[in-house]
Structure 1
Amino acid sequence: MNSNPMYMEYVDDADPQQAPRRGWRILGWVCIGLSAVMVAGSLTAYGLYRRAFGNIAHEDVNAQLGPNRPKKLNSAMNILLLGSDTREGANAKYGRRLKNEPPRSDTMILLHLSPGGGQAMGISFPRDLMVRMPSCKSRDGGVVPAQSRAQINSAFTAGGAACVIKTIESISNIRVDHFMQVDFNGFKAITNAVGGVPVCLPKAVNDPQSKLRLGKGRHNIKGETALAYVRVRHGLGDGSDLDRIKRQQKFMGALANKAMSAGVLSNPKKALDLMNAVTKSLTTDKELTPQVMMDIAREMQGMTSGKLRFVTVPSGPDPLDPNRVALNSAAQPFFAAVRNDKTIPKQPKPGASTIPPSQIRVRVYNGSGIDGQAGRVAADLESQGFHVTVGGNAPSATAATKVLYGSGADQQAMSLAALIPSKPQPAARKRGATPGVVDLVVGRDWTKLNNAGGGIPKQQGEIRASEDICKET
């Protein structure tokens, strides 16, 4: 173990055995439920259970950040989601030897909510990312000097949420509007409140350190088992931080999908349990008031899990240390896309349909003759909020893309056709139509789907909350 606290591995000594153990890296158990709740959109629990917000603790980070911050370029909102490995109170059993040390964070996710509630993206910052860290106020009121080279999670240890915000703003020039922070027990309560989270294991795991014992295949996990799953270091993946982030993102997507389902949000008891689970272990900035949260919820009305994406900030091996990572050449263009996101639903032309993608069901057929084309087009449609299924190959290849519709779906077909560059004329499907469903037959002339309202381009390796949990990434 490196003696430098900036690089310190995290030791779990919940097990009373005295034998030495290798260090843990506490994973992204933290904001999983938070991102799910924040983008749940139609979350009526914000209004129905407002008293739950009295559980939230607050910090005045704006006073620590000062006036020299990036400017807001639009009405998007950026919320920094942080995981705290504090060992205070009931969290002590997850590392008694760390009880008197300052808390650390291995989870730093910038949740970007596009203007108008059209899309959301969770941007993970690896704990091993080496960055410039600006001068910050320390936890004890002193000053943490600026560092030209520091591991990003040391910002939280040194100066808390305000220092992390300042660091991320300095490297991205993205204005961070709010932050949310939760601990171990908050995570367990969230997974219990949604009735468990589905996961898929490529092989059986029996890890004595995390006490995770699960067979190969699909499982629904919650509480201590869920915590062990996201903390496990041995037996899953290659043990790298980036591999664990991918697993974390899939877990977040599955939890978001579960939290956004009607079975959770339409059930008053489940919704109240979820709200209490989040708020009891939650710390935010003073400006993230219940009214602001309710305003966010209203903006996200109609949000589908297909419009919630998870990405890792563009990075690669650190040239100065192969055990760390550094931002690569794609990082600044990506940050610029986030800063300039103007994903506001376009105003329809006079006489045009006003039906949004979230109310359109599309079945995609491949008539292009290109393997996998239907799946790619379906993913593009889903990312813009359409409800999509893949119908397979069309009966025969076609040069021109076609938009066909079943009874009652003519206006939906017009809305879809307007986003296709070739502007196909919608037609009623004569045979095999399904009422209320639009059939898109992708032809050889297919180029791309026009964006329904701008937004951040698709990123390499991104994960959508709607994806099959067993899909390889």
Structure 2
Amino acid sequence: MRAVGLALAGALVLGLAGAGYAYWRLDDNIKSVDIDSALGDNRPAKAQVTPAASASAGATPLPTGALNILVLGSDSRSGRANQELGGGDSSGARSDTAMVVHIDAGRTRATVVSIPRDTLVTRPSCPLSSGGSTAVSYNTMFNSAYAMGGPVCAVKTVESITDVRMDHYIEIDFSGFAKLVNALGGVTVTTDQDIDDDKSHLHLGAGTHHLNGTRALALARTRYGIGGGSDLGRIGLQQKLVKALLEQMATTSLLTDPTKLYRVADAVTASLTTDTGLDSLGELMKLGQSLKGLTAGHVKTVMMPVVAAPSDHNRVVAREPAASALWDSLR
């Protein structure tokens, strides 16, 4: 989200300077889903968002209230780039990665909560874009929500298990993640153990590595080379990547390098799906600018507390009361 804000803020400057086509292209890249209209009012209460005091009379004040954003990494099979990077069958997509990003009031600190995709949940009935709705499903895997009902069902399922309102939704696919890492010049990550995973085509010795987009994506997806093949070990690697990307952003002078700036902005927007509250350069830029004080050192990464499911030890369920206490802290 900081990448989006910085890149698009620069793109706006470029647009005002005469690169109107570039600005139009970036804005046109963004895809959106009207989640608010689809879900209606039967949702957790919305947090109060307060504007900051403006430094100048003519400036639009940036919001400073707390936010909860559902961020999904989808294993979309659409497009040749996604298929080449490991997309499966062409009939659909799943939420390969799910994180609830809670931004504290003041927007200088954040907590990123990963939800294991193998968590067994009660998936609520979700409206379908074609009409009708899905049936309630009990004891089903969390990532089936996206597969069954897309972003709308993913948001509704997260809200049903957390009782926390998702203020926004952001989704990026395989190729978008890889392109973003490449546009930033790669990302440096330290692994605590050797990784040998033929399925993700990743082989790394323990230590520090500078990864390009393809290898960073493989690291985010690997599971069979660590932790006995569970999704829980993979989540630890994904959280390392979150902080590493923030640190890379901090050391990359995007606003003084128009070419790199445009590559980052194009990579982000071309593979981005948002809710309708974030479906323009202006809205994304405002969000990113409101996070300018957020640094990697002030981002806490955790996983929803889970235990092995009694019905299937290859699956997990929320560990109570710890899971409820975590979600309570984000309201």
- TM interval, shorter chain, is 0.7 to 0.9
Instruction: Name the count of aligned residue pairs.
Output: 303
Equivalence map 1:319-330=2 (5 Å): 319-328=310-319, 329-330=321-322
Aligned counterpart, 2:61: none
Contact 2:183 2:267 in 1 (8 A): yes
**1:64–1:46 Cα change, 3 Å:** same
What CA distance in whole angstroms lies between the structure 2 residues aligned with 1:210 and 1:149? 28
Higher relative contact order (CA 8 A, sep 6+): 2
Stretches of 4+ aligned residues off by more than 6 angstroms: 40-43
1:212/1:229 contact within 8 Å kept: yes
* CA contact 2:75–2:87 (8 Å) conserved in 1: no
TM-score, length-normalised on structure 2? 0.83
Q: Which residue of 2 aligns with 1:63?
A: 37
Counterpart of 1:314, as a letter, is P
**Alignment partner of 2:314: what SS?**
strand
Return closer, same or farther for 1:207/1:189 CA change in 2, 3 Å cut-off.
Answer: same
CA contact (8 A) 1:36 1:252 kept: no
| Structure 2 counterpart of 1:81 | 71
Please give the per-residue CA displacement for 1:238-297, whole angstroms capped at 9, x wherever unaligned. 321111101111012111211233534553332322111110111111121333323223
8 A contact 1:206–1:213 mirrored in 2: yes
The DSSP-based 3-state class of the residue aligned with 1:155 is helix
Larger Rg: 1
- In structure 2, list runs of 5 or more residues that go unmatched: 16-22, 50-65
Partner of 1:213: 203
The one-letter amino acid of 2:103's match is L
1:457 aligns with: none
- The question of 1:37 aligning with 2:3 is answered yes
More helix by share: 2
CA contact (8 A) 2:2 2:288 kept: no
**Does the 8 Å contact 2:307/2:317 carry over to 1?**
yes
Does 1:335 find its partner at 2:300?
no
Distance in 2 of aligned mates of 1:320 and 1:68? 31
8 Å Cα contact 1:135/1:143 also seen in 2: yes
SS at match of 2:96: coil
Q: Cα 1:227–1:246, aligned 2, differ >3 Å: closer, same or farther?
A: same
Query: Is 1:314 matched with 2:299?
Result: no
Q: Distance in 1 between matches of 2:192 and 2:293?
A: 33
Q: Post-superposition shift, 1:172? A: 1.3
User: What residue number does 2:151 align with?
Assistant: 161
SS of 2:229's equivalent in the other structure is coil
1:208-255 deviations in Å (ceiling 9; x for gaps) = 433323344221111222222222333334321111101111012111
Give the Å deviation of 1:205.
4.3
Q: Does 1:92 align with 2:83?
A: yes
Q: What percentage of residue pairs aligned between the two structures are identical?
A: 38
- Cα deviation 1:173-203 (Å, max 9, x = unaligned): 1111111111111111011011011122345
- Amino acid of the structure 2 residue aligned with 1:48: V
Q: TM-score, normalised by structure 1?
A: 0.60
Aligned residue for 2:253, secondary structure, equals helix
The correspondence of residues 35-434 of structure 1 with structure 2, limited to 5 A, is 35-37=1-3, 44-45=9-10, 47-48=12-13, 51=23, 52-75=26-49, 76-90=66-80, 91-94=82-85, 98-99=89-90, 101-138=91-128, 140-264=130-254, 266-288=256-278, 289-328=280-319, 329-339=321-331
Work out the CA distance in 1 between the residues paired with 2:248 and 2:318.
32
| Amino acid paired to 2:189 | V
1:373-432 CA distance string (max 9 Å, x none): xxxxxxxxxxxxxxxxxxxxxxxxxxxxxxxxxxxxxxxxxxxxxxxxxxxxxxxxxxxx
Map 1:428-467 onto structure 2 (within 5 A).
none
Mapped contact 2:6–2:285 kept (Cα < 8 A): no
Query: What 5-or-longer segments of structure 1 have no aligned partner?
Result: 1-34, 340-473
Q: CA-to-partner distance for each residue in 1:321-365, whole Å, 9 max, x for gaps?
A: 2211111211112111100xxxxxxxxxxxxxxxxxxxxxxxxxx
Quote the residue 1:5 is aligned against. none
* Alpha-carbon distance between aligned partners in 1 of 2:199 and 2:239, rounded to the nearest angstrom: 22
SS at match of 2:113: strand
Report if aligned partners of 2:92, 2:147 keep a CA contact under 8 Å in 1. Answer: yes
Counterpart contact for 1:46–1:293, Cα < 8 Å: no
Report the Cα distance in structure 2 between the residues aligned to 1:110 and 1:147, rounded to whole angstroms. 22
